[in-house]
Amino acid sequence: MTLRRCTKSVDGTIPIPALLYNDEELLSSQDGVGIYDGIQKSPNHQLGTIHVTTHRLFYISTQHEATYSFALDLSCVSQTDHYAGLFKSSAKVTLYISVPFSASGDAGSNDGPDTPFESWECQVCGYRNPPGLSPAAARVCGLCGISRDSVPAPPAASSSPPLSSSLPASSSLPSLHPPWNSPRTHQRQPSAIACPACTFLNHPSLRSCEICATDLPLVPALVVMKSAPSSRPASPDPSDDDDVTASRIIKISFRKGGDKAFYGVLRTALKSKAWTVGVGSNTPASGEAAAGDSSRSGITGILRNVESSAQGRATDMTDAFQDLEALRIKARDMVRFAAELNERLTASSTTAASALSLSDDALIPSTEPEEATFIRSSLSQLGLEMSNTPVTLDMMKDERRWIEQLARELASVLQGSSSSRDTRGMMKERGIIALDEVWGGWNRARGVALLPPTTLLQVIPHLGACTTPTISMRTFPSGLSVLHTPPYSHVAFAARLSGLLALSGPKTTTEIAREEHVTVGLAAEMIGAVEADGDICRDDEACAIQGGGAEVRFWGNIFHGSVWDGQPITNDV
């Protein structure tokens, strides 16, 4: 019974192009097809031609064009399937019908002339919309774009109770052929409407009383009463009840082939959703229909859910990034402002103290006024302490001075600046530190305007001049580069290591690392350098007779200067 409920009969004697809406287009045709209603053959639709348009599917019966031809809206097709055919079974295309089209029972009944083929006047701009548009397009005024049913229609509400309330889609359907529409066009001329409250005779096109604003009774509503039976749902079909849950499918059987091409065209038509075009201002009704759509179960429903949630997430993300961007711009302003403030403070304090060094922030303390100190401390609490202001190239005039300034900054990062009381440099505790850590720490301290490693390498040669004790760079044979203080220079370490080994016996790398407060990897590098000098030698546990791991113990060079004290070598026999 799906067939009867979802389709509208058309007069097949009319050529197809004449049946189309103005905005509809014929895409493909195939003759020699039969129709299955559900899973059974529909006896009256076994030989005909199928036409697919952007909006509808037409079946034109070959023998009884006038009686058994029908049209099916593509909008109610939720899913399609293609079956290639096997032996005598011909290829079929299955259409799954989603929208319960019960209200169109009247359309299906021989109501003949369809409402869409009728002109209507826009409630808002008064433009007379020409007939012949597809239902969706016809719902919107062609001139002002206002939806036809966005204007409240109380009579529709008053006359709707008879319509089955269990079918949500039905509320959207009256708009296709509103019950008050057709009668009213006939009733237009006659008379004015008397207000039920004040009895003022209002113009028939008014919805509420011009004087007291009382809702006017809709005259046509009375008239409708007579024609009502025709617009009421047809008496329920006996087989309707059990059919609600049954699969609503229509099959098209291609007896003469052409199924593949047709199926392709059908799918593109379904995908392009031409029938939704034009309903830009979504009416609540169509929104409801969409809600009904999304609650659909099955893979399509899940996919749609996933899609919509992904879309939502993407939107959220974009929003968040925009926020972040804005924050960044704000932060830059903030930093700049703080820098300006600080510069001004420094300038005033330096002029006051007629400082010796020009750019050193270290000189602020005593002469500074109370509020300047306050501002400074606030700034530092905000993490904008200006003794840590990153030096950027645009602050400096030439590159050489920039590098020098950077060296000074790096020195303060490494050794702690003398002005700040509690900040400790990275090398305060440690005498040796790998270059990658220096780079990372420096950039973390800068926070903004990060520097590339190449700049770090440029800066390091200048570091010695800015640091006490002098920090210098050293590259191990493995390629590892470190910054170190004098006690960790090669010579000093070699001497210390030899002393340690002589004093407390052989040591493993780990023990030496612990002794020296450096990482094991670093200790291994340093020991390797000493060993390369031949000052120490190793005892590999791999040479053990029993047990033995891979651990290596380092010894002082015991072979150095040792003499043969074994069996005396005699040449006699």
Partner 1 sequence: MSFSTFTTPTGFLLPSVHSAPPFFTQQPHPGTNVTVTERWTTLILAYARHRKLFVLRVEDAETTDTEWLEVLRNERINRKLLPSYLSSIIATMVSKNLATYDPPGQTRSALLYWRLPEEWAEVLHGWAISTGQLNTILTFYEITDPPIPSPLSNIPITLLRKAIAVLAKTGRSQLITISDGEGVRLFQGTGK
Q: Are strands 481-484 and 432-434 parallel, antiparallel or unpaired?
A: antiparallel
Q: Binding segment for partner 1 among 204-212, 322-330, 478-486, 530-538 (CB under 8 A)?
A: 530-538
Query: Can residue 567 be called a binding residue for partner 1 (CB under 8 A)?
Result: yes
Are 279 and 117 spatial neighbours (Cβ–Cβ below 8 Å)? no
**Which one, 87 or 564, has the nearer CB to partner 1?**
564
The residues pairing with 96 across neighbouring beta strands, listed in sequence order, are 79, 249
What is the pairing mode between strands 56-61 and 70-73?
Answer: antiparallel
Residue 477 within binding range of partner 1, rule CB under 8 A: no
- From the list 299, 538, 549, 550, which residue makes contact with partner 1 (rule: CB under 8 A)? 538
The b-or-e profile of 304-339 (16+ CB within 10 A means b, else e) is: eeeeeeeeeeeeeeeeeeeeeeeeeeeeeeebeebb
Closer Cβ to partner 1, 190 or 547, answer by number: 547
Chosen residue from 132, 217, 301, 506 binding partner 1 by CB under 8 A? 506
**Burial category of 234 from C-beta neighbours within 10 Å (exposed 0-12, middle 13-18, buried 19 and up):** middle
Does position 573 bind partner 1 by CB under 8 A? yes
Backbone torsions φ then ψ of 42, nearest 5 degrees: -90, 110
Euclidean distance between CA atoms 407 and 396, whole angstroms: 13
Q: How far is the CB of 543 from partner 1 (least distance, A)?
A: 4
The structure tokens 């300038």 sit at 347
Judged by CB under 8 A, the residue of 81, 436, 540, 551 near partner 1 is 540
Give the whole-angstrom CA distance, residue 558 versus residue 561.
8
Least distance in Å: CB of 571 to partner 1?
8
Give residues with Cβ within 8 angstroms of 205, minimum separation 6: none
CA distance 381 to 505: 51
Q: What distance in Å separates the CA atoms of residue 9 and residue 58, rounded to the nearest whole number?
A: 9
> Which of 236, 369, 469, 534 contacts partner 1 by CB under 8 A?
534
- Does 87 participate in binding partner 1 (rule CB under 8 A)? no
How far, in Å, CA of 4 to CA of 101, rounded?
Answer: 10
10 Å Cβ neighbour count for 104?
25
Interacting residue with partner 1 among 376, 421, 539, 550 (CB under 8 A): 539
Which residue among 18, 299, 358, 543 contacts partner 1 (CB under 8 A)?
543
Q: Output 58 or 493, the one with its CB closest to partner 1.
A: 493
Kindly tell me which residue out of 227, 548, 549, 551 binds partner 1, with binding defined by CB under 8 A. 548
The nearer residue to partner 1, 238 or 547, going by C-beta atoms, is 547
* Gyration radius of the chain over CA positions: 45
Strand partners, 252: 35, 93
Binding residues for partner 1, how many (CB under 8 A)?
Answer: 33
555 touching partner 1, by CB under 8 A: yes
User: By CB under 8 A, is residue 569 in contact with partner 1?
Assistant: yes
Q: Is 568 in the site for partner 1 (CB under 8 A)?
A: yes
Binding-site member from 542, 549, 550, 551 for partner 1 (CB under 8 A) = 542
Please provide the size of the chain in residues: 573
- 562 is an interface residue for partner 1 by CB under 8 A: yes
Minimal distance, residue 521 CB to partner 1, in Å = 18
Regarding 499 and contact with partner 1 (CB under 8 A), the answer is no
Site for partner 1 contains 500 (CB under 8 A): no
Shortest Cβ 434–partner 1 spacing (Å): 23
Q: Does 550 bind partner 1 (CB under 8 A)?
A: no
The answer to whether 544 contacts partner 1 (rule: CB under 8 A) is yes
DSSP line for 380-421: HHTT--GGGPPP-GGGSSSHHHHHHHHHHHHHHHHH--SSSS
Of 86 and 563, CB closest to partner 1: 563
531 binds partner 1 (CB under 8 A): yes
Q: Which stretch binds partner 1 (CB under 8 A): 417-425, 449-457, 489-497, 564-572?
A: 564-572
By CB atoms closer than 10 A (0-12, 13-18, 19+), residue 18 is exposed
Binding flag, residue 537, partner 1 (CB under 8 A) = yes
Beta carbons within 8 Å of 7's beta carbon, 6+ residues apart: 59, 70, 71, 72, 108
The answer to the question of residue 65 lying near partner 1 (CB under 8 A) is: no
549 binds partner 1 (CB under 8 A): no
- Region from 206-214, 389-397, 425-433, 525-533 binding partner 1, contact rule CB under 8 A: 525-533
Query: Taking the complex as a whole, how short is the minimal distance between the CB of residue 493 and partner 1, in angstroms?
Result: 16
Mapping DSSP to helix (H, G, I), strand (E, B) and coil, where does residue 149 land?
helix
Residue 362 binds partner 1 (CB under 8 A): no
CB of 516 to partner 1, least distance (A): 21
Strand ordering across the sheet containing 536-540: 507-508, 552-556, 536-540
Q: 70: which strand partners?
A: 9, 59
* Contact range with partner 1 by CB under 8 A, out of 171-179, 221-229, 237-245, 543-551: 543-551
Nearer to partner 1, 7 or 509 (CB): 509
d(CA 82, CA 61): 22
Q: Report the 10 Å Cβ neighbour count for 429.
A: 9
Q: Which is nearer to partner 1, 278 or 556 (CB)?
A: 556
* 545 is an interface residue for partner 1 by CB under 8 A: yes
Query: What is the Cα–Cα distance from 183 to 223, expressed in whole angstroms?
Result: 7
Q: How far is the CB of 486 from partner 1 (least distance, A)?
A: 25
Binding site for partner 1 (CB under 8 A): 502, 505-506, 531-534, 537-540, 542-548, 553, 555-560, 562, 564-569, 573
